Structure 1
Amino acid sequence: MTTRETRRILLDGNPVDVVRRGDDLVAGDGRVVAIADAQHLPPVTPTKIVCVHLNYLSRVEELMTALPPAPTYFHKPVSALNSHDAAVVRPEGCKWLNYEGEVAIVIGRTCRNIAPHDAGDYIRGYTVANDYGLHDFRDTDAGSMLRVKGADTLCPIGPGVVEGWDFRGKRIRTLVNGEVRQDGSTDEMKWDMHYLVADIARTITLQPGDLLLSGTPAISRTVYPGDVVEVEVEGLGVLRNHVVSGPTPIRTDVGAQPTESEEVLSTAQGGDWEFRGVRKPLPAAH
């Protein structure tokens, strides 16, 4: 199958769409930039970012839970969008920032009330995503995931959008400082890309550029300032980011504060706090 990869970079101070040709990026006016020298931007500008809580069977087994009858979702604000080779900011006062390597579906046409077998016609392509989460806020936002998953910079995507890519049987890995932490396959997904698009589009109109994050395999763990995190998806490339500490602390005069409950620690570091001897659905897990 022939694929085509497009990226969005900052070129002479302007955001420009470019096509990848080998190790180079080529703009429409013929200017050429080496990938190694490019300053990447998010390859699309979505109106919404929808994420599935739980989809990969290895993650289900790790959490010692069971899948719900149908997918459940949460929303990341578009202000969380970030790009390849950019910094992911852990706010001062927070400790439990976890990676989640994923494949993101990129919508190509306005999409509403379609059948799963037609969903492929509405997908422009796919990109790599890292669905970072601040589990410090899990005690208060476990259902909505807003503060857990919605902080600025916590949705890097890229480096490009690949069209003509078949999502079936593809390897997905996450590496931290060069060490493999997650290693799975898209064949682990209970609900495939077409199903997810059709499910959301039953009641929510999807627009060109919108993103659907399709879930993560087992072993989501905490990363720290100074760490370099890479998500590698077969056929889509490598999304790389580095973690930095934010310069200002979480305000203490408003809102729920970061916590370190048993739930927070076991979710961030791995554990079975909620499932000891019991197997039950966990819609808010991911």
Structure 2
Amino acid sequence: MKIVRYNHSNRAAWGVVQDERIVPLQGLPDTANFAEVLLAAGQAAGDALDQRPRGLPLLSSVELLPPLTATAMVYCVGINYRAHANEAGRELPPHPSLFIRRQASLVGAHQALEYPQGSTQFDFEGELALVIGRTGRHIAPDEAWRHIAAYTCLNDGSVRDFQKHSVTAGKNFEGSGACGPWLVSTDEVPDPNNLTLVTRLNGQEMQRANTSQLIYPIAQLVSYVSRFARLLPGDVISTGTPEGVGAARTPPVWMKPGDHIEVEIAGIGVLGNPVRGAVSPS
């Protein structure tokens, strides 16, 4: 099951993708929690079998939004691939390294990334992200799978010149990252620890890895975050980026206005975004 959040008459709405069309989750407010979204999505997926496809909006005709509930926390993991640690000149972390992204720093699939004003070092980071479906605290690694509801793609867009003096700033510029295009339920992802991830800039492959190469695999990440935070339905944990980032190249490769960046994960989908010029000060 693929769950999308999209712009419907200038209001955010949720739906389920069926044959390149969207089955709207009727009567579900954008403020709905993720448990409500999951329940409505399951019902809608069943009801869609009885509907005529012509009566449903085309997926290609709507503006996709980040598939995040209003209260979702976005936890991001730093160095979590050995090859990326090597290219960054970093020691392997003794524990997962975490930071938090504001929701406003993320756009949906096909929406434009906002080039960061005052920066010349706008980098890409393709990542697999998981979405929590069940509340939990102090979750054991072997119990983590019961708490995961879905997976998605995330581009942890990074403003490197700001990140050098503040990770929070460098990872949270408005519209600098992306999430989507949808949430894929766990039943459609039989082995999330064996997914190929590819990042392309203007069609050129920049990153290629497999989630089997994670230093801290998915279950350990869920367990670790739950030690200090109560994980709630809708919360996101992005698992980190592999080698090939622009900052580690010679010469460095930065995203710029007019570029197109995409993150593709096997079994999940393709998250593509254009890059637009910096927004004028208001």
User: What band does the TM-score fall into relative to the shorter chain?
Assistant: 0.7 to 0.9
| Structure-2 residue corresponding to 1:7 | 4
Select between 225-234 and 162-171 the one with higher mean Cα deviation: 162-171
Matched, 1:206 2:203: no
- What letter matches 1:226 in structure 2? G
* C-alpha contact (below 8 Å) 1:183/1:217 kept by paired residues: yes
Q: Describe how 1:31-70 pairs up with structure 2 within 5 A.
A: 31-45=55-69, 46-70=71-95
| Structure-2 residue corresponding to 1:94 | 119
| Structure-1 residue corresponding to 2:148 | 123
TM-score normalized by structure 1? 0.81
Q: Describe how 1:247-262 pairs up with structure 2 within 5 A.
A: 247-248=279-280
* C-alpha contact (below 8 Å) 2:260/2:275 kept by paired residues: yes
* C-alpha contact (below 8 Å) 2:193/2:218 kept by paired residues: no
**How many Å apart are 1:155 and its aligned residue?**
3.0
| Structure-1 residue corresponding to 2:20 | 23
- Once the two structures are superposed, residues 87-114 of structure 1 have per-residue CA deviations (whole angstroms, 9 ceiling, x without a partner) of 1111222110000000111111222111
* C-alpha contact (below 8 Å) 1:91/1:248 kept by paired residues: no
Secondary structure class of the residue paired with 1:58: helix
Q: Structure 2: how far apart are the matches of 1:66 and 1:123?
A: 29
Secondary structure class of the residue paired with 1:201: helix
- What letter matches 1:32 in structure 2? L
**How many Å apart are 1:22 and its aligned residue?**
2.6
Q: Structure 2: how far apart are the matches of 1:13 and 1:32?
A: 18
Q: Structure 2: how far apart are the matches of 1:133 and 1:28?
A: 34
Question: For 1:169, which of 173, 194, 199 is the aligned residue?
Answer: 194
* C-alpha contact (below 8 Å) 1:89/1:153 kept by paired residues: yes
Question: For 1:76, which of 98, 101, 126 is the aligned residue?
Answer: 101
**How many Å apart are 1:9 and its aligned residue?**
1.1
Q: Which has the higher contact order (CA 8 A, sep 6+)?
A: 1
**How many Å apart are 1:181 and its aligned residue?**
0.8
Q: Structure 2: how far apart are the matches of 1:186 and 1:247?
A: 35
**How many Å apart are 1:136 and its aligned residue?**
1.7
**How many Å apart are 1:205 and its aligned residue?**
1.0
**Cα distance, 1:136–1:63 mapped onto 2, change above 3 Å:** closer
Unaligned runs of 5+ in 2: 27-50, 247-253
- What letter matches 1:15 in structure 2? A
**Cα distance, 1:47–1:19 mapped onto 2, change above 3 Å:** closer
* C-alpha contact (below 8 Å) 1:231/1:239 kept by paired residues: yes
TM-score normalized by structure 2? 0.82
**How many Å apart are 1:13 and its aligned residue?**
3.3
| Structure-2 residue corresponding to 1:196 | 221
Let me know the Cα RMSD of the aligned residues: 1.7
Unaligned runs of 5+ in 1: 252-286
Runs (4 or more) in structure 1 with deviation over 4 Å come to none
* C-alpha contact (below 8 Å) 2:133/2:148 kept by paired residues: yes
* C-alpha contact (below 8 Å) 2:127/2:238 kept by paired residues: yes
* C-alpha contact (below 8 Å) 2:130/2:236 kept by paired residues: yes
Secondary structure class of the residue paired with 1:223: coil
Matched, 1:233 2:254: no
* C-alpha contact (below 8 Å) 2:107/2:175 kept by paired residues: yes
Count residues in correspondence. 244
- What letter matches 2:92 in structure 1? L
- What fraction of aligned residue pairs are identical, expressed as a percent? 31
Q: Structure 2: how far apart are the matches of 1:53 and 1:247?
A: 28
| Structure richer in strand, relative to its length | 1
* C-alpha contact (below 8 Å) 1:108/1:122 kept by paired residues: yes
* C-alpha contact (below 8 Å) 2:114/2:279 kept by paired residues: no
